[in-house]
Structure 1
Amino acid sequence: MSEKIDPALPKVELHLHFEGAAPPAFIRGLAKEKNLDISKIFTEDGGYAYRDFWHFLEVYEAATSTLQTPEDFHRLCLAVLEDRARDGVVYAETFLSPDFCGGGDVSAWREYLHAIEEAAAIGQRDFGITLKGIVTAIRHFGPEKSRPAAICAVETKGDFLTGFGIAGDEKMHHPKDFTWAFDCAREAGLRLTAHAGEWGGAKSVRDALDYLKPERIGHGVQAIDDLALVDRLAEDRVVLEVCPGSNVFLGVYPSFPAHPVDKLREREVIVTLSTDDPPFFRTTLVQEYEALAKAFSWTEADFRAINADAARAAFCDAATKDRILQIIEGRA
């Protein structure tokens, strides 16, 4: 019988898509305010409706069509942080795309980012959550669009905006097509992460490592099919941002017990736990922990260790990292 995990256990979440964390009720409200008919993207019970991962991308982009102004993103940030607070999250990083915030124009992006940062400061005050941003190029938008995204990241990097990455359809384009954007971000001192090994197989993880050289991989779970690659991840201390509930919901793996996260841990790969796009996948971080405890008999000590690893892998300054570690380890 699995140990009962305290829902209030302090948590670190490193893999969270900003728009993908939007509560459906929030998006419906925005659509009503703007007289947009996006009713087809919702189920009868009010959740998001889609058939598979590729249809999910379409629904995701339809939902983001309601987010049109910096004020919309300010309100979204507060809604997202309120949800994270219910899960016991004390530190989170979220993927932000200039493609959805000003279309890659740096001056427009600054306005959106300022509104999000202001909301993050309110969230820190009201919910006790530290939020950082990672600019994310959208893979299926193409390599050319990744360049202005990288420039937006470089021009606005700072205390809040600390990383750069890539997300989207792994079957579109090759990691080598995005080396300009990653090199640009790296040279500016931004920390790097890349989605791979969710749909593209172990090879997509290897290619991301070889061409983009990130210190973290988003998902990365299909690396389990290449044990030499698993050993490389462990030896090079590459951190995986694992989202088990997302993988199960989308059918990458049939169930939590079938998910490779436990095997990856056993082979000394550093794994962290996140929800990806929680309302889309009908999950919360508390639910994830409960399912993992049941599937693998993980204890509260396991989760504390995973969260400490996540804090150490966070794209933030040393002082923030130490403060978060103190909370996780019960020293604060």
Structure 2
Amino acid sequence: MKTNTITPNQITLFLIIYFFSTFIGFFTVQLINKAQYDSLLVICISGLVGCIYAFLCVKLANRRPEEFIVYYGKEIFPNWIHLFLMGFIFFFCLHACSVVLKEYADFLIQVYLPETPEWAIGTVFGIVIAITARMGILTLFRAAQGLFYIILLALLINGIFLGKELNFDRWIAFVTNHTLPGILKGSYFTTPFIGELGLFIFIFPFFMKKDKILKSMVWGIIFACFLIMTHIAQILLLFGPNLASHLSFPMLEIVRFIRIADFIENLDPLLIAIWSTMVYLKISFFFYLSAFILAQIFRLKDHRPLTFSLAAITVVMSFRLSENAANLNFFMETTWPTFAYFAESIPILYLLMDTLRRFWKKKAIKKAES
């Protein structure tokens, strides 16, 4: 298996797309509903926590930089505990893949394909992510690297032509309207999205220049948070928190405000296509991780034989997650953050236990020498 193939620059660009994609599409409404004008402050807090989390995860990975944690984790925890924790991470990745797929399928059905059965969209997407996972992790990072500049251009166009529609009189609310419950609720909901970067520990041997990985992750978090804050600020200045918290897809409503000329009434098909590609990369990343971790658990040399069967399971899971979008949103607001915190704390548990074991070992050596 070829490793050391992903550059620090690719890590930064991938993280920007990874965080920005689904958050602006599916979760801004929940955040605005909880935090309103404190949403920008909540994103800053979540980004800071994400940087601390990145430091801890990279610290653990750098102790065995050329080994995969699925293999060396049994040296830290007893084998049965290690297998349980790795199995939980596998399920978390597969479940997250199903959730994002469900969210995206609901979006397409509600907005563009109201007569299309959900199974058709899920099946097509399942085939696509299975093929992508078979192509390997480097394909995802290279695709993100090329897509980033297109996204930057699209966001620039969006900002230029949307500026005249914004109500800048609302700016003062970002300074004066603060509530501690809103900040706490928003931070608890938002931080797990940034904490997902801890999953990078499972592909750490694929990274080049490991001494620069932490810096790349921090810059990725900073730029992603900046873009998310810019997007949320546009929503609040355009609609206000009360209206924005009742919109299904404020991102789409913002795009439809843009009119460049009579022959282009709006740009939503183009910009939604670009955003859909970002969502596709995130789904594919979750799916690749689930297949890769499962293959390592079973000591398989290659994850590719698992891809199509896991894709079928993912599609079925996405069908069975909830009866409608409202139930799924309720799950994401109430249950999912706690579930994600537990899964994302697993690398920290390994770091803590590995540190304790090293301390005990040094203490035993000193005792033996004396």
TM-score (structure 1 length as normaliser): 0.26
Higher helix share: 2
Does 1 or 2 have the higher relative contact order (CA < 8 Å, sep 6+)? 2
The higher radius of gyration belongs to: 2
